[in-house]
Amino acid sequence: MSLLTMLTIYDLLELFIYPMKSITSETGCYVAEFFKKYTLMVLQCSSFYASLFRYVCLVHAKFLAKRGWQPKVSYLDISVIIMLKLYESNEL
């Protein structure tokens, strides 16, 4: 179950159960609020970077061509980057 799904379920429960700390404890409420704000920030940042990448690819094609970059990102590229990051952080 993803973090966003769990937060959605938490929000739905929060509509019907008051106070929520009677179920999750006070610490659980703080953790849920932190993850809601964190998830929102991550979604907004990734949306901004995707929009910025599209803008550069569509409007500044010469900028990409001059540097020999391709406006194409494959699944393999993303997987390799994730694996390298995990390896660097010794989590793999």
pLDDT in tens, 1-59: 677 788 888 888 888 888 888 888 889 888 888 888 888 888 888 888 888 888 887 78
| Residues 20 and 14 sit within 8 Å (Cβ to Cβ) | yes
Residue type for 54, please? Answer: R
Peptide bond into 19 cis (omega under 30): yes
**Amino acid at residue number 85:** K
| Phi, psi at 60, each rounded to 5° | -115, 55
- Rounded Cα gap, residues 50 and 14, in angstroms: 32
pLDDT at 92: 45
Instruction: Tell me the one-letter amino acid at 89.
Output: S
Question: Model-level pTM greater than 0.75?
Answer: no
Residue 60 domain boundaries: 3-88
Residue 72 scores a pLDDT above 80:
no
